[in-house]
Structure 1
């Protein structure tokens, strides 16, 4: 283990690192030791044992590495925990009142924050090592390190009833990153919970994804359903999606602490105009090349064109606008069964029974999942038998 080689008094390290972090563009920088076990391990075990992680098998596979902040690096002594404000300059829920438009989560409306923050983290880590010695490693969400409880322990904020981090200064809009180091840096005090009796984040959830305060069932969460789930979204949740086509900001956006974020906001991670409220009709026409071009450098690109268009078609089905039906009908011949099945569901919501049945009679289909969507649509009208 590399020890400190700095002549700078140890008691000033935190202030100097914090100043450098702010100069690099971080909004918050605090410190915690990571010697002790933390309650997050027990909460994670309960979450996984209940199967609430759904298809996110990587969470179960790495549960031991998430059980303690030092599990990934036993020689680490301290964590530098950092936050970047991404509070939107517009009302992120306003688009929900525009059913012909798609709602993309605020964090995904700009360039991928993982890459943006990682560059800053690496620059800070290099500066720390050059100034004080020691060894360093950087983490930003992609590694099995529980960053929200680490941020709570360092005092950046607290995990609210919606399980997301809430900050006094920036509400629910913080990207997190951390630098683990072998240096021993004086820790900051943890932040207590300041939610009081407020349940706004729980009450607004369209799918009732919170079985209890401070608990999440990802299998019911729209962010999980639209991003992590690879197959067709269960029929019971489709109407609840509304026009949310990538993620969901409802529980974040209603947090009363966001009013402080509005006062302190500085747009460092700007949203692209094209992704604030894109037209569903245009999104439904994306082939793979156009999808990759539109979402270059965006986290949306990771789910692929087929899953994204699946989400768009569910939104078209929820729009209540028969004028969008031709967009869904055009995709009945799409190479992807996932897309074809979502198109069938959309049409079952937009067409009259006779028109839907006529389409089915004229449409060749052999995929069993798509056939099941056709049959479900026919049965929903009552007057037609499944075929």
Structure 2
């Protein structure tokens, strides 16, 4: 379907998107194949997706936007700036406090942006006709390559999208439509010779520029991985208990990302740098209450406290040993195992050996027993 109007539809859509609170709005056609499909298949075939089995299960639909919806002809790609008003890496030096990724310090962006997208899509359908579908990260759509094709930004060496206006701090959403819209020019890569994002990674998660091995990424380890985090990465976690902003935060293009944001995307004070002592005491009810409307809530209390205990083990604060010891009786094996590891880091060797001798014979879980023996 092709539309004809005295006003360019792209300009009208951009104006409506801005009125709804979007910071960027670009357009692309989706007729041609793109290199992102081959990269996705290589990524999955190499096993770099780890336990994210849904990536393998949906990769056929992910290979191109029209593989998911054959009637789609254009994409409207939207961006919302969530650039932090503080240095997100400063908390890493405060070993007794927790580092939560910037995007997760406020309300869940999926819900916030989806409401805006639905309003925009409804307006587009009423104004121009055709069919529309909205997407925010959770559907099998490769949004970063789509955003690059639409000129929103480019995928940097850290594989995240970088914008000339907002650096590495953009939430993305898309509207696919059967209406044919005039495409914007793709955004070329502007990284130059900079490799700051690769060099800062605590776990060497980038096997090469523009490639990511999720199995080594702290965001994957603290959010997606369900069991114990491999021992080789635990010290590198530091006090990062949910996600990791290092590769995003060091990008030189972030100097353009500062500025006013919508208040409802602002960080909650309680989540900017909470203490490990308060977080490790959370039971399920308290966890759900603290992280209401937060993306953190999705990983559940047990996985979250596991992360906090690794941070406690890295803190060097022996005063926190009592908090870790209390969780040796936790119902969740992943919590008990993390508590044992934390205590191996905080207690003097004779004290830890005495505790292990007392606890090991009664431990029913094989993985937790292995934690005691390995520690």
Number of residues paired by the alignment? 372
Asked if 1:361 is matched to 2:357, the reply is yes
**Structure 2, unaligned stretches of length 5 or more?**
none
Give the alignment of 1:49-64 within 5 angstroms: 49-64=45-60
Deviation at 1:323, TM superposition (A): 0.9
- Map of 1:39 onto structure 2: 35
Match of 1:335 among 331, 335, 339: 331
The DSSP-based 3-state class of the residue aligned with 2:106 is: coil
Match of 2:261 among 244, 257, 266: 266
2:372 to 365, 374, 377: 374
**Which residue of structure 2 lines up, in the alignment, with residue 384 of structure 1?**
none
Alpha-carbon distance between aligned partners in 2 of 1:133 and 1:371, rounded to the nearest angstrom: 62
Q: Provide Cα deviations, 1:74-120, integer angstroms capped at 9, x if missing partner.
A: 00000000000000111100110100001000000000000000000
- Other structure's SS at 1:347 match: helix
CA positional deviation for 1:357: 1.4
Number of the residue aligned with 2:68: 72
Contact 2:21 2:262 in 1 (8 A): no
For 1:155, the equivalent position in structure 2 comes to: 151
The offset of 1:362, in angstroms, is: 2.6
Q: Paired residue for 2:186, among 184, 190, 193?
A: 190
> C-alpha deviations, 1:306-343, integer Å up to 9, x for none?
00000000000000111111010000000011000000
State the alpha-carbon separation in 2 of the partners of residues 368 and 257 from structure 1.
Answer: 47
Q: Is the 8 A contact 1:100 1:316 kept in 2?
A: yes
Q: 1:200 to 1:265 in 2, by over 3 A?
A: farther
Matched, 1:118 2:88: no
Question: What is aligned with 2:90?
Answer: 94
Report the counterpart of residue 136 of structure 1 in structure 2: 132
Shift of 1:69: 1.4
CA distance in 2, matches of 1:137, 1:192: 27
Report the Cα offset of residue 366 of structure 1.
1.7
Contact 1:318–1:349 under 8 Å retained in 2: yes
Q: 2:5 aligns with which of 4, 8, 11?
A: 8
Pick from 291, 306, 319: which aligns with 1:295? 291
The 4+ residue runs of structure 1 with deviation greater than 2 A are 6-9, 264-268, 361-364
1:18 lines up with 2:7 in the alignment: no
Is contact 1:325–1:350 with CA below 8 Å preserved after alignment? yes
Is 366-375 or 142-151 further displaced after alignment? 366-375
> Which whole-Å CA distance do the structure 1 matches of 2:120 and 2:365 have between them?
52
Q: CA–CA distance in 1 between the matches of 2:177 and 2:365?
A: 53
Contact 1:8 1:132 (C-alpha < 8 Å) held by counterparts? no
TM-score (norm 1): 0.95
TM-score w.r.t. the length of structure 2 is 0.98
Displacement after TM superposition at 1:360 (Å): 1.8
Tell me, what secondary structure is at the counterpart of 1:236? helix
Report deviation, 1:8. 2.7
| 1:81 alignment partner, SS class | strand
Maintained 8 Å contact 1:148/1:165: yes
Q: CA deviation at 1:267?
A: 4.3
CA distance in 2, matches of 1:90, 1:202: 22
CA distance in 2, matches of 1:141, 1:267: 20
1:37-81 CA-to-partner distances (Å, cap 9, x unmatched) read 001001111111110000000000001001111111100000000
Gap regions ≥5 residues in structure 1: 378-387
Q: Any idea what the Cα deviations from partners look like across 1:115-157, whole Å, max 9, x if unmatched?
A: 0000000000000000111110000000000000000000000
SS of corresponding position for 1:175: strand
Counterpart pick for 2:142 among 137, 140, 146 = 146
CA distance in 1, matches of 2:49, 2:91: 28
Paired residues of 1:136 and 1:182 also in contact (CA < 8 A) = yes
Distance 1:108 1:256 in 2: 22
Q: CA RMSD in A?
A: 1.0
